[in-house]
């Protein structure tokens, strides 16, 4: 958690410094969403539930002459509990984006992009109600992208970034996960007795083509639509298998401090195997890439500051 606070303080300090320059536009959002249900002597039955999610969004945008520089930090962390069971993560994301561009022609910019994604806490799989197995953690995985390309910005609501040369690094900063080849890194080499001869690699390097489409716009009064679609093809391994990361957020404003939000997140990553139960007995028979999908509906408090670019 200290790492998260350090990142937030750093970006906030940069934002405070940037405000002295009128070329900068800074904004932010802090929100808390929650849900709760309780039962006592309830004849129809039911289990107590408690869920909460914290959201932080910080943005700093620079525009002067033909140069533009867009920066965004996202931190989301959610948890829930049903009955007397474990507290389980429902959302966990740290993402930092930085994109610098120089205008080439009308609405087109020569651009470089840096993207970093990871999570803050350990992630678990729950094979039963009383057991948990670690399957991820801070920097396990982490995804780092650096690319050179063109950015098409017809207006302040839309950005389409195209890069034929983007390097991606997959970091798995946990040796146990690296040894089993989690998230696509090279797994450990074993002898015939199952003993480790060579530890698994904790870093995988890819080079490929990258597309990032971002849209944010008020589609109705007090209804904001935002989406980010990312497509990536690794030239070095199975370039025909395109990784997809698509996020959609619809925010419905109730008043200045209260809103309702719908989030969906679809992922297909050829490097991330998912357990597959072929016969429906509750046990994984094999592992392979699969479409991952999450959806959340929440109501909560939100505080906004600064001005959008």
Cis peptide before 12 (omega within 30 of 0): no
Q: What is the pLDDT of residue 133?
A: 83
For residue range 225-282, list pLDDT tens digits in order. Answer: 999 999 999 999 999 999 999 999 999 999 989 999 999 999 998 877 665 656 665 5
How many whole angstroms separate alpha carbon 276 and alpha carbon 269? 15
Residue 291 buriedness (CB in 10 A; 0-12 / 13-18 / 19+): exposed
pLDDT, one tens digit per residue, over 146-166 is 999 999 999 989 999 999 999
Distances in whole angstroms, Cα of residue 72 to Cα of each of 62, 79, 108: 12, 24, 21
What does the pLDDT read at residue 176? 94
Tokens of 266: 């679809």
Give me 131's structure tokens. Answer: 């057991």
The pLDDT, as a whole number, for residue 268 is 93
Contact 238, 254 (CB under 8 A): no
Both ends of the chain: CA-CA distance in Å?
30
pLDDT tens, residue by residue, 31-68:
999 888 888 878 888 889 999 999 999 999 999 999 99
Residue whose C-alpha is closest to residue 55's, from 26, 82, 94: 94
User: Tokens 């606070």 map to which residue?
Assistant: 5
Instruction: Decide: 206 and 107 in contact? Cβ < 8 Å.
Output: no
- Of the CA atoms within 13 Å of residue 67, those in its CB half-sphere come to 6
Give per-residue pLDDT as tens, 95-126.
999 999 999 999 999 999 999 999 999 998 87
* Confidence (pTM): 0.87
Cα–Cα distance, 30 to 26 (Å, whole number): 14
> What is the spatial distance between Cα 216 and Cα 226, in angstroms, rounded to a whole number?
4
Higher pLDDT, 27 or 8: 27
pLDDT by residue (tens digit) across 170-220? Answer: 999 999 999 999 898 999 999 999 999 999 999 999 999 999 999 999 999
Q: What phi and psi, each to the nearest 5 degrees, are found at residue 39?
A: -135, 140
CA–CA dist 306, 309 (Å, integer): 10
Q: Is 179 helix (H, G, I), strand (E, B) or coil?
A: helix
Q: Give the long-range contacts of residues 99-103, CB within 8 A, separation 24 or more.
A: 99/69, 99/70, 99/71, 99/151, 99/159, 99/161, 100/67, 100/68, 100/69, 101/67, 101/68, 101/69, 101/151, 101/153, 102/66, 102/67, 102/68, 103/66, 103/67, 103/68
What's the sign of the alpha-carbon dihedral 183, 59, 262, 223?
Answer: negative
Are 235 and 243 contacting, i.e. CB atoms less than 8 angstroms apart? Answer: no
Measured distance CA(306)–CA(303) in Å, rounded: 10
* pLDDT in the model for residue 131: 75
User: For the chain, where are the alpha helices, taking DSSP H only?
Assistant: 2-18, 175-179
Domain 2-36+46-306 has CATH 2.40.128: no
Domain boundaries, the chain: 2-36+46-306
């Amino acid at each position: 958690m200290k790492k998260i606070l350090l990142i937030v303080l750093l970006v906030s300090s940069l934002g405070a410094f940037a405000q002295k320059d009128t070329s900068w536009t800074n904004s932010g959002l802090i929100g808390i969403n929650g849900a709760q249900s309780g039962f006592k002597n309830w004849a129809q039955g039911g289990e107590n539930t408690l869920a909460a999610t914290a959201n932080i969004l910080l943005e700093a945008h620079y525009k002067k002459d033909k140069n533009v520089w867009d920066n965004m930090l996202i931190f989301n962390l959610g948890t829930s509990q049903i009955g007397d069971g474990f507290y389980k993560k429902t959302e966990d994301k740290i993402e930092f984006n930085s994109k610098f561009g120089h205008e080439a022609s009308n609405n087109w910019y020569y651009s470089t992009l840096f993207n970093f994604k990871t999570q803050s806490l350990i992630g678990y799989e729950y094979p039963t109600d009383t057991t948990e197995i670690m399957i991820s953690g801070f920097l396990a995985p982490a995804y780092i992208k650096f690319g050179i390309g063109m950015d098409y910005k017809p207006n302040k609501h839309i950005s389409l970034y195209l890069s034929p040369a983007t390097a991606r690094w997959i970091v798995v900063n946990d040796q146990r996960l690296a040894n089993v080849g989690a998230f696509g890194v090279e797994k450990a080499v074993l002898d015939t007795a199952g003993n480790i001869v060579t530890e698994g690699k904790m870093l995988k390097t890819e080079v490929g083509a990258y597309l990032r489409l971002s849209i944010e716009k008020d589609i109705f009064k007090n209804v904001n639509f935002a989406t980010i679609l990312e497509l990536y093809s690794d030239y070095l391994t199975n370039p025909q298998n395109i990784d997809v990361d698509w996020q959609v957020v619809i925010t419905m404003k109730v008043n200045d401090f209260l809103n309702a939000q719908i989030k969906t997140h679809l992922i297909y990553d050829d490097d991330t195997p998912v357990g597959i139960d072929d016969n429906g007995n509750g046990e994984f028979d094999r592992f392979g890439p699969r479409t991952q999908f999450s959806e959340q509906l929440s109501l909560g408090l939100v505080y906004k500051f600064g001005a959008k670019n």
